[in-house]
Amino acid sequence: MRTVTPGLKLKALLIALGSLGWIVLVGFAYSPQALTVCPAGCPPPSVQPKIEVPHARGSSAPPLYPPTVTVCPEGPPVCDYATLGEAIAAAEPYTLLAIRSGTYPENLVLDKSLRLRAEPNANVEVRGVEPGVPVLTLDVQGEMQVSLEGITFRASPPSGPVTENPLSCFRPEAVCSPGIVVRGTGSLSWVLRDAEITGATRDGIACAEELELRALHVILERVRLTRNLLNGIAWGCEGARDGVLIVRESLVAHNSLVGLMLFVEGEGSSHRVIVERSTFLGNSKGLMADGNRVDLTVQDSIFAQNRDWGLAAQFDRGSSLLLRSSRFASNGAGIVLRGIMQGVEDLTEEDFEAEALVIEGVHVWGNKWGINAGAGWPLRIRSSVIEQNVQGVAIRLADPWVELQGNWIRRNQEWGVTLFRDTCVEGGSPPHAWLPVVVRGEGNRIEENGRGDLCPEDFPWPEDLVAPDADERAP
């Protein structure tokens, strides 16, 4: 009988573990585990995108045994390198840089597939030193795979008359510093995990104008994007034809403009953005999406105390929004939807069937505007609780078709559901500017609103919009 020695067993185990480590690095798996609770029952979970991740240039797959080098402030002989810049320059592709505790005053450029990871329990901070230069530049050359774990990136200090006012960065004499910038040509798969980006006097994460990527796939997991002078994330990556951004279990807080800014209008490009189990807190604007080829999914997330709004989206045909099981509290406006102005007669049967704009299972309370609907496309609001706002649901001129299904809209200071007309809302549109609006739905519980439940009263509201019997109402 053939026997297997303990040495061979150990070798086989090491091979399996080595393979698994790199599979985790490059195989952007997506498996949400959140528990969803809806006021009137939840629809089946939506299908999540399967993300294809390209291999790095010059190699069909990562090596089985990636080399490891160590970095520490003391340098040799305590570790292999004293600076990250030296280690990056000398490293072969796919090398693991194990980083020990310390502050590394450097501006880094990463132009190859590498993994930078803080050692367990290490406090690692990369602090930029050159004004106007990103603390980290991902300079894509061909096909790259990058993983950054357990690192704080603190942007370079600015120079010139830069103040806490974001507009000060646009003065000619001001030199402001971004956090992490992506540039180059090819394709990039990038994982940022258990990290922080802070103190940028421009954007925390941004794409450079000189960007020509076939694919840009990014996962931000347990990342803190805090106190950046412009945007936490500026996803204006029009130079990427295929873009995927996943923000998971992250905190986007106290950024002076927008926590997450999506702006994609490039011809021939398509971008998917998924936000889940994340918090947007104390920004001027929580999340803002504007584009004609963006599919945005937000679920199980919190938007609170953002000055202007929690989430705002302005989409054209070809984009979509699925917003579910999230909370919006104490923002200027909870949810704002805008779009091109058009009438119901301009919509096609495909527009109605596509369900491109869906809000379901959300809780919106304590905002000036609960849901400010003016998307220009069929909008469906389902199984949500909208309460204790100044206005509950306000339907603006550009929204020709709204469906309200199984919601609980109560105790709003003024109206539960209102059209944006001067007879209902201060500053609303005068009669000559009123456009046709279609409201459908049933089984809603609309009650105890300050000025009334529906405005105007003479509008042809659906007969079953408000459930007549408590047993049939949304809980």
The per-residue DSSP string of 275-299 comes to EES-EEES-SEEEEEEESSEEEEEE
CA-CA distance, 135 to 199, in Å (whole number)?
10
pLDDT computed for residue 2 by the predictor:
39
Task: Please measure the distance between the N-terminal and C-terminal CA atoms of the chain and give it in whole angstroms.
Answer: 69
CA atoms within 13 A on the CB side of 48: 17
Mean pLDDT of successive 10-residue stretches along the chain, which has 475 residues: 41 38 34 36 42 41 84 98 98 97 98 97 97 97 96 94 84 91 97 98 94 95 97 92 96 97 79 97 96 89 98 83 97 86 56 79 98 83 98 80 95 96 88 77 96 94 84 46
Cα-based distances in Å from 265 to 230, 290, 294: 21, 8, 9
Residues 96-152: pLDDT tens digits? Answer: 999 999 999 999 999 999 999 999 999 999 999 999 999 999 999 999 999 999 999
pLDDT computed for residue 450 by the predictor:
97
Q: Which two tokens stand for residue 373?
A: 């609907």
Q: Let me know: does 235 contact 263? Beta carbons within 8 Å.
A: yes
Q: Let me know: does 469 contact 35? Beta carbons within 8 Å.
A: no
CA-CA distance, 390 to 370, in Å (whole number)?
7
Give residues with Cβ within 8 angstroms of 321, minimum separation 6: 289, 296, 297, 298, 313, 315, 337, 356, 357, 358, 359
The reported pTM is 0.85
Phi–psi pair at 267, nearest 5 degrees = -70, 135
